[in-house]
A and B are shown apart, each in its own frame.
Chain A
Amino acid sequence: MTHLPSFRHWARRVAAVLGVLVAWQVAAQLADGRARAVPPPTAILQTLAANWDLFVGDLQYTLLEAAAGFLIAVVIAVGLALVFIRSRPAELGLYNIAVAMHSIPFIAIVPILVIWLGNGYSPKIAVAVLASFFPILVNTTRGLRAVDEQTTHLLRVLDASWWQVLTKVRWPTALPYLLTAFKVGAPSAVLGATIGEWIGSQTGLGYRILSAMFNFDPDLLWATMVVSALAALAGFLLFDLLERLTVGRWVAEAR
């Protein structure tokens, strides 16, 4: 059962955030311009409002790239996880390659991707794929394997086919793992797309960050950061909601 948090619970959360913002505002005002790199929250809000159209344009690009990258990552990761549970040798071989790819810092691979794929959407989508792919692969594989021994025996006695075991038991068992992976992977895809825009871009949140830095505009930099964080958060919340609506009902009290 999902319980709605009480009013007091929410009041405390809001109070904590407001407290930090007020302290920040006071500290920034006291510093009085000596710390230009950290503008007060009100200045960031003003910049955000003044450049709203700019950010909407940036968001369109970045979110499109992130969504495309995320979807591709899901398809590849889930497909690969199915191969892994089917064949142990394939897993042993391919898993190491996946780990190696995951270990490459995205920022190091962006120039290579730009040379390879050009200046369009493709290299950004590719970085978003790289950023979100691994947690989805690991979690899906674990989820598909999370069927307990007695259930496996029951299905053996019933002489269920591989496909029946997959669709009737493995897949639903993996679903909570999958949604957890999505909650991690979706913000990562936004991050990946943003980093992908650092090289060879004319628009997008990543481009905005770089251009604000080179123009020494901390207010714009902070405002872009807020937008990026909200975009990543939206990805998380989307799958959090989906989780509550679907598997939350039986997972909490399973067994």
Chain B
Amino acid sequence: MTADPAIDLRGVSKRYLTRGGEVEAVSSLSLAIRAGEFVAVIGPSGCGKSTLLKMVAGIETPTAGTITVEGGTPDQARRRRLFGVVFQDPVLLPWRTLEGNVSLPLEIVGSRRPERARSARELIELVGLAGFEASLPAQLSGGMKQRAAIARALILNPSILLLDEPFGALDEYTRNQLNLELLRIWSQSRVTALLITHSIQEAVLLADRVVVLTPRPARVAMEVDVTLPRPRQLAQLRTRECFELVGRVSAALYDRLEREAGRERGEPAAALAPGHLDSR
């Protein structure tokens, strides 16, 4: 039996009214994500990929089109607390200890103190921060804070993990380290994951499928199935298969930019017309 997609976007558009007039952030975008699938969305900065994530999370509503999350609206999914989110900033509350921050979602759903402490400790252990339970955020490094944010996102056992450039502010080494941790954690839980990123390498390393968006308004330019075997390792980044995948994603991502640059050099557009690109 083919199950319904966990997240299904159909013809989704989002227009904003700004001082400069109406801005279209997302334009009739369709995308289906299977349960347990890890999808990375990549696109030029400011193309509306964060808007996409907020609409899936029920924080913003689309101007047109429908989004279905596990059979309901995003708002219903939010109220059922199906989501775990990690943003670019760790958004830890500076007056709470690591444990207090990680257990915040449990406080909000009203679970009891012993249970909160037990779950928080388990997750802190899972993200490799055991021993720092009583530390304040100011005492943790950037990578540790982001680990804490992951623990907090997982504590309610979400069925969908939304990651909005979660490691975008970290150095490359820490970033790859956390990517591996994320892979390990994800392979244990197999939640549906939607990752917004601007790193091609990160997208290819983590995801089952990479969705490349066009510059604003965001539309799906191309989808690339990542055929690298799991469990993934950093060494795979140096394989030819990986190079090819990165190349395909890169071609789709930089397509418009390259054509524009070509036009400026006076080259005939036809010579660069990418016949291999999926028009949707």
Binding site for B on A (CB under 8 A): 148, 150-151, 153-160, 164, 168-169, 172, 247, 249-255
7 interchain residue pairs of minimum CB distance: A253-B138, A254-B94, A250-B94, A150-B91, A150-B87, A151-B91, A160-B108
Contact in complex: A169, B54 (CB < 8 Å): no
Q: Is B78 an interface residue (CB 8 A)?
A: yes
Q: A153 and B59 in contact (CB under 8 A), knowing A168-B104, A172-B95, A255-B94? A: yes
CA A201 to CA B148, docked complex, whole Å: 61
Instruction: Jot down 10 A-B pairs with beta carbons below 8 A, ordered by A.
Output: A150-B91, A153-B59, A154-B85, A156-B78, A157-B58, A159-B108, A160-B108, A250-B95, A253-B138, A255-B94
Q: Select which of B93, B107, B137 is within 8 A of A172 by beta carbon.
A: B93
CA A251 to CA B95, docked complex, whole Å: 8
Contact in complex: B79, A148 (CB < 8 Å): no
Binding site for A on B (CB under 8 A): 54, 57-59, 78-79, 81, 83, 85, 87-89, 91, 93-95, 104-105, 107-109, 136-138, 156, 162
Point out the residues of chain B lying under 8 angstroms from A156, CB to CB.
57-59, 78
Further 5 A-B residue pairs, CB within 8 A, beyond A158-B105, A159-B81, A168-B108: A157-B59, A157-B78, A159-B78, A160-B108, A250-B94
CA A148 to CA B88, docked complex, whole Å: 13
Contact in complex: B104, A153 (CB < 8 Å): no
Q: Select which of B87, B108, B109, B156 is within 8 A of A153 by beta carbon.
A: B87
Contact in complex: A150, B93 (CB < 8 Å): no
CA A200 to CA B21, docked complex, whole Å: 61
Point out the residues of chain A lying under 8 angstroms from B93, CB to CB.
151, 168-169, 172
Q: Select which of A148, A157, A172, A250 is within 8 A of B138 by beta carbon.
A: A250
CA A158 to CA B105, docked complex, whole Å: 7
Q: A157 and B83 in contact (CB under 8 A), knowing A164-B108, A168-B107? A: yes
CA A247 to CA B104, docked complex, whole Å: 20
Complex: chain A residue closest to B57, CB-CB: A157
B112 → chain A closest CB, angstroms: 16
Complex: chain B residue closest to A156, CB-CB: B59
CA A169 to CA B88, docked complex, whole Å: 19
CA A169 to CA B94, docked complex, whole Å: 10
Contact in complex: B85, A153 (CB < 8 Å): yes
Complex: chain B residue closest to A161, CB-CB: B108
Q: Select which of B89, B107, B138 is within 8 A of A150 by beta carbon.
A: B89
Contact in complex: A159, B138 (CB < 8 Å): no
B36 → chain A closest CB, angstroms: 20
CA A252 to CA B107, docked complex, whole Å: 26
B7 → chain A closest CB, angstroms: 15
Contact in complex: A153, B138 (CB < 8 Å): no
CA A252 to CA B57, docked complex, whole Å: 33
A224 → chain B closest CB, angstroms: 42
CA A238 to CA B171, docked complex, whole Å: 44
Point out the residues of chain A lying under 8 angstroms from B105, CB to CB.
158
CA A253 to CA B145, docked complex, whole Å: 14
Contact in complex: B138, A254 (CB < 8 Å): yes
Point out the residues of chain B lying under 8 angstroms from A153, CB to CB.
54, 57, 59, 85, 87
CA A164 to CA B108, docked complex, whole Å: 7
Point out the residues of chain A lying under 8 angstroms from B162, CB to CB.
157
Q: Select which of A151, A158, A250, A253 is within 8 A of B81 by beta carbon.
A: A158
CA A249 to CA B83, docked complex, whole Å: 33
Contact in complex: B136, A148 (CB < 8 Å): no
CA A157 to CA B162, docked complex, whole Å: 10
CA A252 to CA B105, docked complex, whole Å: 26
Point out the residues of chain B lying under 8 angstroms from A251, CB to CB.
94
CA A83 to CA B226, docked complex, whole Å: 52
Contact in complex: B91, A154 (CB < 8 Å): yes
Point out the residues of chain A lying under 8 angstroms from B94, CB to CB.
250-251, 253-255
Point out the residues of chain B lying under 8 angstroms from A255, CB to CB.
94
A192 → chain B closest CB, angstroms: 32
CA A153 to CA B84, docked complex, whole Å: 12
A132 → chain B closest CB, angstroms: 26
A157 → chain B closest CB, angstroms: 5
Most buried by A among B79, B94, B105, B156: B94
B146 → chain A closest CB, angstroms: 13
Complex: chain B residue closest to A252, CB-CB: B138
Point out the residues of chain A lying under 8 angstroms from B58, CB to CB.
156-157
CA A128 to CA B83, docked complex, whole Å: 50
CA A169 to CA B259, docked complex, whole Å: 48
B25 → chain A closest CB, angstroms: 16
Q: A159 and B91 in contact (CB under 8 A), knowing A153-B85, A253-B138? A: no
CA A150 to CA B89, docked complex, whole Å: 8
Contact in complex: A157, B108 (CB < 8 Å): no
A112 → chain B closest CB, angstroms: 44
B163 → chain A closest CB, angstroms: 12
Point out the residues of chain B lying under 8 angstroms from A155, CB to CB.
108
CA A142 to CA B88, docked complex, whole Å: 25
